[in-house]
Amino acid sequence: MGKSKMKVYTLEELKDQYIGPIGSPARDAHEHKLSMDLLGRAIRTIRKERNLTQEQLGELVGVQKAQISKLENGTNSATIDTILKVFSALKAEVQFNVRVNQQTLTIR
């Protein structure tokens, strides 16, 4: 008997199959959640590097500790203004790239 070849899938194929194709509501929700998780991890990592508690960072930004906790855990969709304030308080540079019709706008 010959060896049977196992089908190999790309990550994109698996995402399409199990989450949904790009542009579908399920895929958009997944990508948003992933982005918020990554943003939260970045905030937590930088906050700890700066030796700040969530409460101290909240005071610098003008929000409650609970808001910082929610941001770090990816359970809160904060406004861009709040996110910019958080990174400013952490003395971190932020850039947003918006791409529309093959044109990119960078916001700092």
* Cβ atoms within 10 Å of 103's Cβ, excluding its own: 7
The domain made up of 11-107 is a member of CATH 2.30.29.30: no
State the average pLDDT for the chain: 87
Helices (H) and strands (E) in the chain, counts: 5, 2
Is 108 a residue whose pLDDT tops 90? Answer: no
Q: State the Cα–Cα distance between residues 16 and 30, nearest whole angstrom.
A: 11
Over residues 26-52, the mean pLDDT reads 90
* Cβ atoms within 10 Å of 90's Cβ, excluding its own: 20
Q: Could you tell me which residue, 2 or 38, shows the higher pLDDT?
A: 38
User: Could you state, in order of their start, the residue ranges of all structural domains in the chain?
Assistant: 11-107
State the pLDDT confidence band at 32, using cuts at 50, 70 and 90.
Answer: confident
Is 107 a residue whose pLDDT tops 80? Answer: no
